[in-house]
Amino acid sequence: MENRTTRLTLLIDPKKKAVFERLCAEEDVTPSQMVRQFIRNYIEERLGPDWREQVFSEDD
């Protein structure tokens, strides 16, 4: 089960942030939801479709 208690801070150009927020709003998703999706896609790309078993079966 996913635990959403860890914060990820990143620095981004203000103009890119504004465009990203606008594009997210057009898709009716929050920027946080989209970043989480990017991360899931990247993990799956690197670890394969069974990545959840790998990640969530490991000890914390």
pLDDT on residue 16? 97
pLDDT on residue 56? 83
> How would you classify residue 28: left for phi > 0, otherwise alpha for psi between -120 and 50, otherwise beta?
left
Global pTM? 0.78
pLDDT on residue 58? 61
Q: How far apart are CA 11 and CA 48, in angstroms?
A: 29
**Which residues make Cβ contacts (< 8 Å) with residue 30, sequence separation at least 6?**
24
Rounded CA Rg of the chain: 14
Q: How far apart are CA 3 and CA 48, in angstroms?
A: 21
Q: pLDDT tens, 8-46?
A: 999 999 999 999 999 999 999 999 999 999 999 999 999
